[in-house]
Structure 1
């Protein structure tokens, strides 16, 4: 067996290349060993294969040279779904709706196009189409939207010196729920669908954006009176030599005359309001999500007192090792409206984590 220089170089590259298939590399070694003058039995022994395998690939190479080492086309039914059929499914999915529904299913699309349900599923997966899914969105109509976003995000990214930036909000109507039957452990955990209400409470919270520490208080009602008491608590706990910047939403209790009068007598407090319909800009909402997920959603409480005790305990544990949230999402230009917006899918990164999810920093 005699090899040309070009054939030898190509065979050696197939052997050395990391991306080559193992089968192609083995066939190349068979040809190279044979070209070096080794007998069939010797090649089989050196490569740990049978003599029939060596004979077969020697014969294939002598007949078709390098092309003979590649796999031949597999037998099978010719392709029935053309590119035009795939385009028709995609266009129909994106631009049309069925007569009897608000969105397509794989079976309704199969009936409309004459294809099989499995074919529609493969096309949708290939192009990441999910007509059955729907997400919510809201574009704020606040005329000062841009200015307020820059104000709030500016406090996150570049807080003023000798000042404390606090994200303040209330989580109202936290219900003390007792399940009608005991919770059954397992995977997943099983809870009865019905429950008994034992009252509600409201959690006032102020998240320190620098450290992640939370100042909180509980009240049975949610009025301006309770909010003013919470402001007094902040004034007591924050060192007197620091300015206080509060980021709040546009709830009416934050703007009543009694609160304005209190703020006038405490000039170190500065209020920064998020745009209308954009409370997701407030980082304390992410902390409330932690509270809901880890303590409230699956909690069982037979009284408001038990609920408040659990919330206080959880807050104390959080403040033992506070974990700050770090803002990493900047503004982007919305070309259709010609102004800078922040998308509603708020992205946060936490210290020591990849920006794949919104989680507190690792302890």
Structure 2
């Protein structure tokens, strides 16, 4: 018969202690380790057992015991890291917090973002100290990313429709991602390109000569990765209708055809709608407005741009179109499908998180 373990002392919080711990949890500038320790103590104070807190927070039971004991012994101060051997610190926790809070909550008077030099001048610390603090807390004021939230009133329905086709396509049907890459420029450098040599990268002049443009209509087959493409000098409903006719010829007659495409005006003209009525096996699924990332053919366009167009040199539109056709044929000899992994719920949850962050940032 197993003997019961030692009885652990109860943990209770004063109002002041609870306010301090909850403040550490909510504050964005709090170190993640300190925020986790605060959550552990708050969970224990709410009457949860050590094993239950361990399961709820995803940490080891010994970790819960350690910080519970440290809090009982020294209160909130016990949640800080123990001093380590070596040269005494010259930068205190208060200094670190001051830099982090200033980075997250303020801007310099004469710039849009902080640099190590401006932050050092504002805090009286060295540039290297500021740099170390930023690296430790993954702060990069010089970097900025872009995003865009769709304003489509049917955003949720369209996301579920398109993602449903990716993850659970209908039987006896082909799902094709369709779009146009318009205004592809035939560019010739103003001076000859200097080839790569050992220790020297390829060099090219920064300016170029334009020789004209073309438009690539493409349909990516989701299941196999094969692409049906068509090049046209113009980008109108007339050309899109010709491309639909090409799809009708190349897709076997026994298959339904589901097209995922954006809301561009040429996709919805009366002529196109009339053509669709005469070809009932074609079904159109529109992505939400401002959500081109939902169309897998955009990923294929990125491959084409990076591997053929970005550093290509073409003295005429004919040469450009010849290169695109060659690259397309080579792709279809060895097609590689792009696997869609996110469910509609995953996408909608992430969008909801962004909306919450935007809402919070206005206060």
TM-score in terms of structure 1 length: 0.71
- How far is 1:79 from its partner? 1.3
Q: How many residues align?
A: 268
Runs (4+) of structure 1 exceeding 6 A deviation are 338-341
SS in 2 for 1:80: coil
Whose Rg is larger? 1
1:1-363 correspondence runs (5 A): 73-74=85-86, 76=87, 78-186=88-196, 187-330=200-343, 331-332=345-346, 334=349, 337=352
Output the CA distance in 2 between the equivalents of 1:288 and 1:189. 24
Name stretches of at least 5 consecutive residues in structure 2 with no aligned partner: 1-83, 357-363
For 1:339 and 1:297, locate their aligned partners in 2 and report how far apart those are by CA, in whole Å. Answer: 32
How far is 1:188 from its partner? 2.8
- The equivalent of 2:49 in structure 1 is none
Q: Secondary structure at the match of 2:339?
A: strand
Structure 2 CA distance for aligned equivalents of residues 162 and 337 of structure 1: 35
Task: Tell me which of the two structures has the higher relative contact order, counting C-alpha pairs closer than 8 angstroms and 6 or more residues apart.
Answer: 2
Which ranges in structure 1 are unaligned for 5 or more consecutive residues?
1-71, 342-363
What's the Cα RMSD here?
Answer: 1.9
d(CA) in 1 for partners of 2:225 and 2:350? 35
Taking the aligned partners of 2:120 and 2:168, their CA distance within structure 1 comes to: 54
* Residues 336 and 296 (structure 1), Cα distance of their counterparts in 2 relative to 1, 3 Å cut: closer
SS at match of 1:212: coil
More helix by share: 2
How far apart in 2 are the matches of 1:184 and 1:336? 46
Pairwise CA distance, 1:313:
0.2
